[in-house]
């Protein structure tokens, strides 16, 4: 093989570039997911605090239900994200 044959090096760079791109896409999705849950959780807390001004057994249960719903969404999405990340093949 000639000393100036960079075919293998170029292939390795291409593979690494593809993996970095895939990782960046996965990370961007995770960041968007986390920010979305953060906003949902902040809204649920704000709604619960607003309901606290006129709290009674019904409004307290409504606040608990809202928090439980957001928690369930977070757990389901975290599981989906974890599964998606686990499916990403390791670099060759």
Can you give the pLDDT at residue 2? Answer: 62
Dihedral, 60, 67, 45, 31 alpha carbons, nearest 10:
180
- Is 77 inside a domain boundary? yes
5 in a domain, yes or no? no
Position 54 in a domain: yes
Answer yes or no: is 3 within a domain: no
Phi/psi of residue 78, nearest 5 degrees: -65, -40
pTM of the model: 0.44
Predicted local confidence at residue 54, as pLDDT: 66
Q: What is the pLDDT of residue 92?
A: 64
pLDDT reported for residue 76: 86
Three-class DSSP labels, the chain: CCCCCCHHHHHHHHHHHHHHHHHHHHHHHHHHHHHHHHHHHHHHHHHHHHHHCCCCHHHHHHHHHHHHHHHHHHHHHHHHHHHHHHHCCCCC
- pLDDT by residue for the chain (92 residues), tens only, comes to 566 778 888 888 898 888 888 888 888 888 888 778 778 888 888 877 777 666 677 777 887 888 888 888 888 888 888 788 778 777 76
Give residue 60's domain range: 23-87
Count of structural domains within the chain:
1
Give a yes or no: residue 36 inside a domain.
yes
């Amino acid at each position: 093989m000639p000393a100036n044959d960079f075919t293998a090096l170029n292939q390795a760079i291409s593979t690494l570039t593809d993996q970095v791109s895939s990782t960046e896409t996965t990370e961007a999705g995770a960041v968007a997911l986390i920010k979305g849950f953060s906003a949902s959780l902040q809204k649920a807390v704000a709604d619960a605090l607003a309901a606290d001004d006129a709290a009674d057994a019904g409004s307290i249960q409504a606040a608990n239900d809202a928090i439980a719903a957001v928690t369930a969404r977070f757990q389901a999405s975290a599981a989906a994200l974890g599964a998606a990340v686990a499916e990403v093949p390791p670099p060759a």
